[in-house]
Structure 1
Amino acid sequence: MLKYWWILILLFTAQMLKAQTDTISISGMFYHTNVYVYNPSVADSFSVQSIIINNDTITHELEANGIELDLSTYEMKEGDKVSIQVIYYAGNYAPVIVNPQALMPPVKFRISKPKYSKDKELKWLVRGVPGDYPIVVEQYKWNAWKTVATIDPIDTVANNLYRVKIQPHSGKNIYRVKSHNIKGEEIVSRESIFSDSKTSKVNIQNKKFTDEIILSSKTDYEIYDLHGNLNQSGFDRYIKISELTKGKYLLFFDNQIQEFKKK
């Protein structure tokens, strides 16, 4: 009989402890980012009892170690005030709000002006959180912006140094870097303008164009017909043109555009 009473006392004590709760609270503003809560558990018992978001209480779908709070379901606008209270059983391990910074103003995504180094590298910094888009390096040549490199971004709020090898042409070079922020808005750096003293002007060596075009050094090139159709492109000194039909073409090379006649 005594043993029976001890069991009842232990069960009653356990229920009393479970009935006692504590609260973790954060507040801030809505910036289109979900909040994540780590919910500790022992066996089948989870720590979180309920969650209150701006006076709306959630008691369902809480029996998981990871809880995602989708704030967009509350029809809030960016900058609206948000208050979150996580109520948990005091006898259990305390839950953790994994990303409280979600209610803080995001660091504005910026790309610094690229800088050119003597080892033919373009370097720049990014700050803030980029969107789910690549970082694109462009060079302005032949009267248009050309993509020369594509890089996967690093998702972080710290400064990050990026670098990429490039092939500058003779004369004035213009480069820029662009990507998108988390809203999908395009972010473009200031233009980097420089000249590389070690890069000489490229000249055409031959005067008749039957099988190939010979340049003074390797360079990027593109060949278009007079209707604007791209026929060939590459990076070389010797450009094979034997398969081109006879006629006039435009050769884009180095920082120049010249017309030639295939015979």
Structure 2
Amino acid sequence: MIRLDDHWLDRNPLPETEHRTNKNERGRVFVVGGSALVPGALRLTGEAALRAGAGKLQLGTVAESGTLLGMFVPEAAAVALPSTAGGELSADGVDVLLEHASACDALVLGPGMHGSKECERLVRAVIERLPGEVAVILDAGAIAAAATCKELLRDHAGAVILTPHPGEMASLSGLDVDQVQQDAWAIARRTADELQAIVCLKDARTIIAAPGGKEVEFDGGTPALATGGSGDVLAGIVGGLVARGAPPFVAAAWAVWTHGSAGSALARGYGGTGLLSRELLPLIPRFLNRQH
């Protein structure tokens, strides 16, 4: 077992960005998700991507929330996508979604989405048609939907990264949550090999596994991160680092370390639980720059 700590980070640095004065060179991220029920999830993911160093950001969400979301994240372009009668993203918007995704380096798909049949249709259509040069990070509802298109994930020419918690991994693997938690290492390894993807299995300890047995474990987080929106922040950090040019496994590991370390710092300040996920956002650059 390899521990994700300062020594590992020293041996696996992030790409330099100081010389990249053009925002396009810093990486372009498209975050897609949200719903009428969870309209603010993309604010967390999108800002996290920018805090991680990405140069340009687009946010794609249900049309009824798009304008308001764009006002909350003025640094981003807002893309209005069609919704179902229940306020979820509709697969009818896949053409518009792919038009924008094709111009980006990384697509983060899933924050604020639920694992419905419509979500499955949308995720399948995106993975089937997404250009190979675009990395895809699947989070939240998109992870459960990925269980219906595993063959497409294996065939995607670009990087694929999944960020499940045990419940989402249970949906993806067909196991129950207790099985996932009891045999987390083996399940993360097996899923990484099966999907040819990077898997970040989030729990009290987080396991990052890549195809072929490459893996690392982070145990420096805090129970205070078990709060709404925390996973949305993590997905955004991953997307921002991939867009910057970090290798997918390195990006995933650095994102997990940064997210967990920022959470622990906040928890120490609060004296325990009670942090809000949006409070993680200003700390992201500090920890990515190892100023801790």
Q: What TM-score do you get using the length of structure 1 for normalisation?
A: 0.20
More helix by share: 2
Structure (1/2) with the larger strand percentage = 1
Select the structure of larger CA radius of gyration.
1
Greater relative CO, 1 or 2 (CA 8 Å, sep 6+): 2
TM-score, normalised to structure 2, is: 0.19
